[in-house]
Structure 1
Amino acid sequence: MTYTPEQLSDREQIRDAAMRYCYGVDRLDAEVMKSAYWPEATDDHGNFVGNAHEFVDYCMKAHLRWKWTMHSIYNHQIALEDDGIHARGEIYNISHLCREGTNTVDTWFGRYLDRYEKRENEWKIIERVCVHNGTQVMDSEPMRMQTSTYRRGSFDRPADGRPIGP
């Protein structure tokens, strides 16, 4: 398929919205996470079904039980609709969540089925359904290497222009 420059830009903006979601949830940055959704968007994550911005608020509390999380997205299929303002997407996702106080890592395998909408030249998620494909629990040991000089990941180092460092 051949895309116009505008369609290529649209696809990239849609991918950016998906990445903002992942970045926001992993950094526990509600503002970044909400920026992926329109205010009236819905999210069906199984254990939460409702307004997406309320889902973000729910995540900010629910994710405190983990030491760190890493939401990774892989294949991202995007179908732009002919009207130029609607699109559908399917994203393959693997999320690693390390339990607080342990080295136990919960891994979630699934997909996001998304509908996107473009308003005033900006794409965001208008509807998300989270599809569960499987889970895995792993007790892990730290790698056998000197890590004391590396920076540690944590929820206290969020996004966009904020200093990173001790």
Structure 2
Amino acid sequence: MLDAAALVAITRRLDALESRERIRELLFEFVRGVERGDVDIIRGVFHPDARTDYGIFVGNAQEFATHIVDWYRDVPYVRNFVTNPRIVLDGDRAFVESHFDSTNWLELEDGGMIERCAEGRYTDVFERRDGQWRILHRRALNEKHWTRPVSAKELGRRGQPAGRQSTTLVGTRDRSDPSYLGFAVANELPAPFAATPHHEASAAEWSWA
């Protein structure tokens, strides 16, 4: 039989575990919202009165959600990662430091394309209101960025071996992406690959050069 003190301690430990997991989920949800161009997902990560400071945008986080979706609307390739979250809990507030890695393809005026990569950290203050954790304040620290030209080969096949018909599915940056199907994605499986003539791609075919 647990005494009252032990029960309180277990309850606090469980609350801390659940809080940390929910905060991690919100960090990942933000990334998904950016990649899919889903303004509702991004807004759901922040409290209504939350503020963000990205340098190029300082202001209300709900307005930032619209801004970033509009900015990325015509960007053909967006990939973001959030890693190494350090979560410091203090009651209904949490300070969270995490690392981000962002890769985007940006079209040039001459029709070419560049890949822009950025690395940095988010410093976030989360707050729990009515049992719901959300970000109250975010500051993005951009610590490194670089660009490189995207080759015609990359633009032409998006990862497919040269000279063959694609058998690899490509996602979309909107709600038509297969991830929105959830478990129903199992009903959308294509015909078995055994029906497709086998082709062993050479190293040269997979080269990005």
- Which bracket does the TM-score occupy, shorter chain normalised? 0.7 to 0.9
AA aligned opposite 1:108:
A
AA aligned opposite 1:155:
R
Query: Paired residue for 2:92, among 85, 95, 98?
Result: 85
More strand by share: 1
RMSD: 2.3
AA aligned opposite 2:92:
I
Asked whether 1:126 is paired with 2:136, we answer yes
2:102 matched residue in structure 1: 95
- The answer (yes or no) to whether the contact 1:67–1:154 under 8 Å persists in 2 is no
2:172 matched residue in structure 1: 154
TM-score after normalising by structure 2: 0.70
Asked whether 1:57 is paired with 2:66, we answer yes
Task: Give 1:102 shift.
Answer: 4.7
* 1:48-87 deviations in Å (ceiling 9; x for gaps): 0000000001111111241121110111100001xx2000
Task: Give 1:140 shift.
Answer: 3.9
Report which stretch shifted further, 26-35 or 64-73.
Answer: 64-73
Aligned partner of residue 60 in structure 1, secondary structure? helix
Pairing 1:108-119 to 2, within 5 Å after superposition? 108-119=118-129
Aligned residue pair count: 162
Pairing 1:15-34 to 2, within 5 Å after superposition? 15-34=24-43
Q: After the TM superposition, list the runs of 4 or more consecutive aligned residues in structure 1 that deviate by more than 4 angstroms.
A: 100-103, 162-166
More helix by share: 2
* 1:73-110 deviations in Å (ceiling 9; x for gaps): 111100001xx200000010000111246552110111
Mapped partners of 2:165, 2:87: distance in 1: 39
Mapped partners of 2:170, 2:160: distance in 1: 16
* 1:1-29 deviations in Å (ceiling 9; x for gaps): xx811101000001111111110011000
Asked whether 1:106 is paired with 2:116, we answer yes
Mapped partners of 1:144, 1:25: distance in 2: 25
- The answer (yes or no) to whether the contact 2:160–2:166 under 8 Å persists in 1 is no
Which structure ranks higher in relative contact order (CA pairs < 8 Å, sequence separation ≥ 6)? 1
Pairing 1:70-81 to 2, within 5 Å after superposition? 70-81=79-90
* 1:91-148 deviations in Å (ceiling 9; x for gaps): 1000011124655211011111000001122111000000010101122443562571
Aligned partner of residue 56 in structure 1, secondary structure? helix
Which one has the largest radius of gyration? 2
Identity of aligned residues (%): 27
AA aligned opposite 2:78:
T
Mapped partners of 2:30, 2:65: distance in 1: 9
Specify every segment of 5 or more residues in structure 2 that has no aligned partner in the other structure, as ranges. Answer: 1-11, 191-209
AA aligned opposite 2:136:
I
AA aligned opposite 1:152:
V
Specify every segment of 5 or more residues in structure 1 that has no aligned partner in the other structure, as ranges. Answer: none
